[in-house]
């Protein structure tokens, strides 16, 4: 295959990224394909790829951590098909509007009015999933204990022949990440879920997002704890995502605290 095209002026590629368009294969893998077809859907200044066989691997899924895979649940057809849709939806998120890759403005998010927001990225991802038949903010299938706090809804979920597959996209701090993992562990242990995935940024991406957002590095030391949860059958995973490139020539992704983002 010919050498991949170089990014535009001012862009710096993230490491180990192959710059080509891809198509999803039946087994969930990827293969190079033909000319670019933008096929973009835009809302509130953020663009995603519409559902279809052609998409670009933009915001990158760089690691899948299999925390629990009881009785090979990840390989079961219904679960595997749902996870393939999660991968496609991650790959469909682009920035800036009209682009065919995810290029982030490389500014630290530690100060107010600086860095990039995470809400619009999550919204773009959820749009991809709902286009594929997933439910948004689906109620958690298990009630809280009497006198205790109720569980919040799942960011997205899909009913399959094998059971409910849940996805949580991290927009909060590390405490939020732990709550999401604990909630999905409980769902697996008590049979309310067949699979759950938490999507978090790598440290390389998190540095440019809202300050103190949870990232995969902060969760690694707790994987053994969650893996020890007794589950008859089910899958629990952590998917780490990262940008395709950085550039000072693209706009920031607005935070909820930015005045313009509130209008």
Neighbouring residues of 146: CB distance < 8 A, sequence distance ≥ 6? none
The answer to whether the CB of 151 falls within 8 A of the CB of 187 is no
β 54-56/245-247 pair status: unpaired
Cα(41)–Cα(38) distance, rounded to whole angstroms?
A: 9
Cα(225)–Cα(50) distance, rounded to whole angstroms?
A: 38
Whole-angstrom distance between the N-terminal and C-terminal Cα of the chain? 46
Question: 85, 168, 170, 242: which one is catalytic?
Answer: 170
Tell me, yes or no, if 13 is annotated catalytic: no
Task: Give CA angle at 225 (221, 226), nearest 5°.
Answer: 105
Q: Provide the annotated active-site residues.
A: 170
């Amino acid at each position: 295959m010919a050498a991949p095209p170089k990014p535009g002026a001012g862009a710096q590629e993230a490491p180990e990224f192959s710059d080509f368009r891809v198509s999803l294969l039946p087994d969930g893998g990827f293969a190079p394909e033909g000319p670019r077809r933008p096929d973009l859907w835009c809302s509130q200044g953020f663009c995603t790829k519409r559902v279809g066989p052609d998409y670009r691997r933009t915001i990158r899924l760089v690691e899948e951590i299999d925390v629990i895979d009881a009785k090979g649940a990840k390989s079961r057809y219904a679960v595997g098909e749902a996870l393939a849709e999660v991968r496609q939806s991650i790959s469909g998120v682009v920035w800036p509007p009209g682009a065919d890759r995810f290029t982030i403005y490389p500014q630290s998010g530690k100060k107010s009015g600086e860095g990039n927001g995470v809400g619009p990225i999550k919204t773009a991802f959820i749009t991809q999933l709902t286009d594929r038949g997933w439910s948004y903010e689906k109620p958690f299938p298990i009630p809280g204990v009497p006198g205790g706090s109720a569980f919040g809804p799942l960011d997205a979920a899909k009913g399959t022949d094998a059971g409910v597959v849940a996805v949580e996209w991290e927009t909060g701090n590390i405490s939020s990440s732990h709550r999401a993992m604990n909630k999905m562990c409980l769902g697996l242990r008590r049979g309310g879920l067949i699979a759950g995935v938490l999507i978090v940024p790598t440290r390389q991406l998190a540095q440019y997002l809202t300050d103190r957002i949870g990232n995969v590095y902060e969760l690694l030391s707790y994987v053994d704890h969650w893996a020890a949860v007794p589950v008859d059958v089910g899958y629990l995973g952590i998917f780490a995502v990262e940008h395709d490139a950085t550039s000072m020539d693209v706009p920031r992704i607005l935070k909820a605290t930015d005045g313009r983002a509130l209008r």
